[in-house]
Structure 1
Amino acid sequence: MAQVLEFKLPDLGEGLTEAEIVRWLVEVGDVVAIDQPVVEVETAKAMVEVPCPYGGVVTARFGEEGTELPVGAPLLTVAVGVPEGSSGSGEDSGSGTEPSGGSGNVLVGYGTGAPAARRRRIRPNRLDRAVTEAPVSRAPVVKAPVLEAPVVTVPAADAAASEGPVPVVSPLVRRLARQNDIDLRRLAGSGPDGLILRADVDRAIRTAEETAAATARAARAPVRAQAPTAAVAAAPNGVAAAADAERIPLRGVRGAVADKLSRSRTEIPDATCWVDADATELMAVRAAMNAATGPSAGPKVSVLALLARICTAALGRFPELNATVDTEAREIVRLPGVHLGFAAQTERGLVVPVVRDAHTRNAESIGAEIARLTELARTGKLSPAQLTGGTFTLNNYGVFGVDGSTPIINHPEAAMLGVGRIMPKPWVHQGELAVRQVVQLSLTFDHRVCDGGTAGGFLRYVADCVEQPAVLLRTL
């Protein structure tokens, strides 16, 4: 008789206690192998695929796409077939499905590590028996379609939508469409070979919102003609909101960022100082480095990589800023190594990947690691470990065309350096007015770990390195 095993949402590590189902990778009735990814989930740290430690037939799934589950909640059940050594069929027991004891603990994003040699194919006759003999699961079978929500906002050109998979650029786009009741089968993709991009979904959402707003105005018009009504309604929690206001859940990465920023503002007495710096020489040095040819020429070095290398040198001179505060012990903890975080904007929001041991790397090595982590961030493949453990953050908001900012410290760190856009400005150079490449640098710091003199010294050293890159030679 088949044995049905329940696979629960595993311990996610890094203090994570829940995850949201983004996309099911298997259907009820599918045959899965040990360590095969069965569901894609989004945590407060990253989006990852969860592998199942059992091999067999999926008999039930728990939770639809978009559902948030706590660690330990059932994900699915798997019928693992006839255990070896059992009697009753007269067939060779070795031809059945191997009993799945699992492959060990499952950690999101890292696989379960089972040896491939233990996997066996399931013969069709045993597969049928495994499904028919499986006991009834304690929850009803949930077999959710890829897009379960009905479309009410986008007009249908043809009631009979085409079958088969819909070409979508990423799971994030599919999830955005599901959250806004957009049927991807009725969209014409603007990407290569009809690939549906986020811009296509955003356009459909705007069209739906405009249609809904026009309908609401038309419905309210006769009422307003008879008697004036309040334009603002009180929400259950007392927060005033318009009747057609959009509510966006603070979950996943968005919720984690909100919690961290709120905690930073609540716990950290921060202060900000800033300075304008002439980055003309730094840009010239970068151009010369990237123009080098021959065996000694390496990959291109970005401005962010150079600024990161300057940060590690500055933290070596001012270790007070590479620290955290233990509020319970009332102690400042100075950290021995620099794990440099950098802000990266993605479709899922702002994330801060961490370059480990940045103080041991040169500009070329830092640049390569930043490029690698940025690509993982854009594709939603960063692991929780790659998003935690930072000791200092570099925020290049200049890429958004912004000159200056007063950033919020990435709790529990003690400081963050902000970099504005580098642009030509009038500047007094060698006693004469000239057009130079100028950048504004801002340092937000925890006033508990240092005073303004230390923060100013750090920022001034960074500015000096930007204006005179040769200063860095003393620490290379």
Structure 2
Amino acid sequence: MAQVLEFKLPDLGEGLTEAEIVRWLVEVGDVVAIDQPVVEVETAKAMVEVPCPYGGVVTARFGEEGSELPVGAPLLTVAVGATEAPASPAPSAAPGSSASGASSADAPAAEESSAGSGNVLVGYGTGAPAARRRRIRPERVGTSAAPVPAPVVEPDPVPVAVPAAAGEVNGQQGPVAVVSPLVRRLARQHEIDLRRLTGSGPDGLILRADVDSAIRRAEEAARAQTRTAPAEPVVAEAPTAGAAAPAAAERIPLRGVRGAVADKLSRSRNEIPDATCWVDADATELMAARAAMNAASGPSGGPKVSVLALLARICTAALARYPELNSTVDTAAREIVRLPGVHLGFAAQTERGLVVPVVRDAHARNAESIGAEIARLTELARTGKLSPAQLTGGTFTLNNYGVFGVDGSTPIINHPEAAMLGVGRIMPKPWVHNGELAVRQVVQLSLTFDHRVCDGGTAGGFLRYVADCVEQPAVLLRTL
């Protein structure tokens, strides 16, 4: 006899309390194995797949793609020990309605075990390859099994890839050739029907460029319609009691990555008495040193050393001299906690918003190693594959906002850290060099620090050391 078990959204760790459903990986009627990923969710930390601890037949799913669920809310129900998929309830089925189970004489037996694995944390399954899911045809379902309660199931929007003018093939809609959840979200935000797009990727795969083109066409059509609309005389009228209200302002929920960033920045401003100091530095010699390093490596001498990697190495050397800035404050105990190692965070802008990946043990790495790790984490950030562990535990943050074409800023400290170094763009400016006016590569460095952990003298000493290393990279030789 089948037993229906409810799988709830598990505790995702890192203080996360909710997640947004990005993409369902199974459908009602699918046979799933223990620890098989069943849904892809996006949290404030990362985008991850959730494995199901039960093996059996999926009888119901809860929540549509794009909806947000709190931890502990039902995700799906699985008929454990069932030999067939139960009949899928109609979309209009009332709550509490039941569905009959399958007859063991009319269908093949399920291949999954009925025992749960207990591995319900995101990204922490057994590691064994997931069995291929097997869809049981509803018409083969019998009526001899015990009744199985079936909650209301929202009809799953089946994505399709069809010619732009048709929308269906032989009267039947097929699966949409969309892999990226970001592409789905972009289409959903701009109300683009993926069923009417023809993908330009391999085998008709719908790419982001296809959705962007559809958005531009829709905007151009709207503008053309506005231009061709007959103009009506404008008559000034006094407002009347029954006049239509003005359009409401757009409201955007603060959730996901944006919500997490908002909470952290607000907490930083509320708890940390921060102060900022800045200095302009001549980066000409640093740029020349970087060019010499990369030229010495040759065409096949490995990856190039980036400016960000050099600045990160300078920061670790400065933190060794001024450990006060590599600390945090225990407000409950009223203690400053100096941290033994440097886990260097760096700000990265992605389609999901601002994230801060962390280079572990940066104090034990050279510039080349730091640069390779920054490149690896940046690629994971762009594809939305960073794990929560890779986004937490930083002790000091480096923020290169110069990539946005700005000179300076007053960074907000990444709570609960004690400081952040901001770097503006490096650009040619008039500069007094060796007593003469010359055009040099100048950069502005800004340090925001927690005034509880140190005074201005320590912060100024740290920033001055960083500027000296930028202007004279040979200063670093003492600590390499």
Please name the residue that 2:115 is paired with. 101
Q: Is the 8 A contact 1:97 1:120 kept in 2?
A: no
The answer for the alignment partner of 1:112 in structure 2 is 125
Flag structure 1 segments of 5+ consecutive residues without an equivalent: 84-88, 149-155, 235-241
Correspondence for 2:38: 38
Cα RMSD, aligned residues only: 3.7
* Partner Cα distance (1:452, 1:221) in 2: 65
Which of these residues, 182, 193, 210, is aligned with residue 192 of structure 2?
182
Looking at structure 2, the residues matched to 390 and 229 of structure 1 have their Cα atoms a distance apart, in angstroms, of: 59
Q: Secondary structure at the match of 1:282?
A: helix
1:385 equivalent in alignment to 2:389: yes
- Aligned partners of 1:125 and 1:178: how far apart in 2? 30
Contact 1:415 1:443 in 2 (8 A): yes
Which of 450, 461, 468 aligns to 1:464? It is: 468
Distance of 1:414 and 1:233 partners within structure 2: 52
Out of 133, 136, 144, the residue aligned to residue 145 of structure 2 is: 133
2:12–2:121 Cα contact (<8 Å) kept: yes
Deviations 1:361-411 (A, max 9, x none): 111111111111101100001111111111110000111111111111111
In 2: Cα distance, 1:126 partner to 1:228 partner:
60
- Give the deviation of 1:81 after TM superposition: 2.9
Pair 1:282-2:286 in alignment: yes
How many Å separate the matches in 1 of 2:230 and 2:259?
35
| Correspondence for 1:153 | none
Identify if the C-alpha distance between structure 1 residues 146 and 375 changes in structure 2 by more than 3 Å, giving closer, same or farther.
farther
Q: 1:326 is matched by which residue type in structure 2?
A: D
Cα 1:267/1:209, change in 2 over 3 Å: farther
Q: What TM-score do you get using the length of structure 2 for normalisation?
A: 0.83
Query: Shift in Å at residue 95 of structure 1?
Result: 6.6
Select between 403-412 and 203-212 the one with higher mean Cα deviation: 203-212
Cα contact 1:59–1:131 (8 A) shared by 2:
no
List per-residue Cα deviations over 1:273-300 (Å, max 9, x = no partner). 1111111111111111111247994421
Paired residue for 2:238? 227
Aligned to 1:171: 181
Matched, 1:160 2:172: no
How far, CA to CA, are the matches of 1:123 and 1:25 in structure 2? 13
Q: Secondary structure at the match of 1:369?
A: helix
Contact 1:4 1:134 in 2 (8 A): no
Match of 1:145?
157
Return closer, same or farther for 1:203/1:127 CA change in 2, 3 Å cut-off. closer
**1:141 is aligned with what amino acid?**
V
Letter in 1 for 2:347: A
Asked if structure 2 preserves the Cα contact closer than 8 Å seen for 1:9 and 1:75, the reply is yes
Q: 1:319 to 1:34 in 2, by over 3 A?
A: same
Residue-pair matches, total: 452
**Relative to total residues, which structure has the larger helix share, 1 or 2?**
1
| C-alpha spacing 1:161/1:126, structure 2 compared with 1 (3 Å) | closer
Please say if 1:311 is aligned against 2:323.
no
Alignment of 1:76-475 (within 5 A): 76-82=76-82, 97-108=111-122, 110-113=123-126, 115=128, 133=145, 135-146=147-158, 158=165, 160-161=167-168, 163-168=173-178, 170-187=180-197, 196-198=206-208, 201=211, 204=214, 225-228=236-239, 243-293=247-297, 297-475=301-479
TM-score, normalisation: structure 1: 0.84
Structure 2: runs of 5+ lacking an equivalent: 84-102
Partners of 1:420 and 1:251 in 2: how far apart?
Answer: 29
1:56 is displaced (CA, Å) by 2.2
CA distance in 2 between counterparts of 1:204 and 1:90 reads 49
Matched letter for residue 39 of structure 1: V
Deviation at residue 223 of structure 1 after TM alignment: 9.6
The letter of the residue matching 2:52 is C
Distance 1:132 1:379, change over 3 A: farther
Once the two structures are superposed, what CA deviation does each residue of 1:87-130 show, in whole Å capped at 9, x if it has no partner? xx999xx975443212222221x23116569x799797999669
How far off is 1:301 after superposition?
0.9
Q: Is the 8 A contact 2:325 2:419 kept in 1?
A: yes
In 1, Cα distance between the equivalents of 2:452 and 2:232?
58
Cα distance between partner residues in 2 of 1:160 and 1:124: 26
Residue 74, structure 1, aligned to residue 74, structure 2: yes
- Find the residue that maps to 1:16 and give its secondary structure: coil
User: In the TM superposition, what is the alpha-carbon distance from 1:334 to its structure 2 partner?
Assistant: 1.2
